[in-house]
C-alpha cells in the first residue's frame, strides 16, 4: 500500500521490532512492579491510600493503552509489508490477545473506582472523628 524503498523498509522493520520489544517490556515492568507494590501496601494495612490509587490508575491506563498501540503497530507492519508481499491479511487472533489485555484494564479500572470510593469514605470518616 505504501510505496517504500528497500532502505526505508529495513529502517521501518527494525523500528517496528524495537517498538514491539519496548512495548512488551513496558507492559511487563510496569504491571509486575505495580502489582507487587500494591500487594505490599495492602499487606502493610494501607489499603485506601493515594499511592494505591496511583498504582491502580497507572495499571488501568497501561492495560488499556497497550492493546491500542499493539494494534497500531500491527497496522503499520501490514502497510509496510504489503508492498513486498501481496496478499497479506491481518489475522483476527491479534484482536483476541488484545481483548484479554483490555479486559484486565477494565478490571483494574473497576478496582480503581472501588478504591477511590473507599478512599473518599475513609477521608470523610477521619474528618468526622
Does a structural domain hold residue 20?
Answer: yes
Does a structural domain hold residue 126?
Answer: no
Does a structural domain hold residue 1?
Answer: no
* Mean pLDDT of the region 20-24: 84
Whether residue 19 is predicted with pLDDT greater than 90 in this model: the reply is: no
Does a structural domain hold residue 129?
Answer: no
For residue 76, what pLDDT is reported? 74
Does a structural domain hold residue 83?
Answer: yes
* Mean pLDDT of the region 20-32: 86
Does a structural domain hold residue 107?
Answer: yes
Residue 61's domain comprises 6-120
Flag the least confident range among 48-57, 61-70, 92-101: 92-101
- Of the pLDDT bands very low, low, confident and very high (cuts 50, 70, 90), residue 113 is very high
Looking at the 3D structure of the chain, how many domains does it have? 1
Exposure letters 1-30 (e unless 16+ CB within 10 A, then b): eeebeeeeeeebeeebeebeeeeeeebeeb
* Mean pLDDT of the region 19-46: 89
Amino acid at each position: 500500500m505504501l510505496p517504500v524503498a528497500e532502505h526505508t523498509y529495513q529502517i521501518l522493520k527494525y523500528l517496528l521490532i524495537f517498538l514491539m520489544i519496548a512495548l512488551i517490556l513496558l507492559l511487563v515492568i510496569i504491571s509486575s512492579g505495580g502489582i507487587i507494590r500494591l500487594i505490599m501496601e495492602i499487606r502493610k494495612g494501607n489499603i485506601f491510600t493515594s499511592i494505591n490509587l496511583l498504582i491502580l490508575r497507572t495499571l488501568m491506563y497501561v492495560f488499556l493503552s497497550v492493546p491500542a498501540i499493539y494494534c497500531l503497530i500491527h497496522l503499520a507492519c501490514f502497510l509496510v509489508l504489503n508492498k513486498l508481499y501481496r496478499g497479506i491479511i491481518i489475522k483476527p487472533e491479534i484482536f483476541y490477545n488484545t481483548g484479554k489485555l483490555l479486559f484486565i484494564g477494565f478490571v483494574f479500572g473497576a478496582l480503581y473506582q472501588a478504591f477511590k470510593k473507599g478512599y473518599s469514605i475513609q477521608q470523610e470518616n477521619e474528618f468526622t472523628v
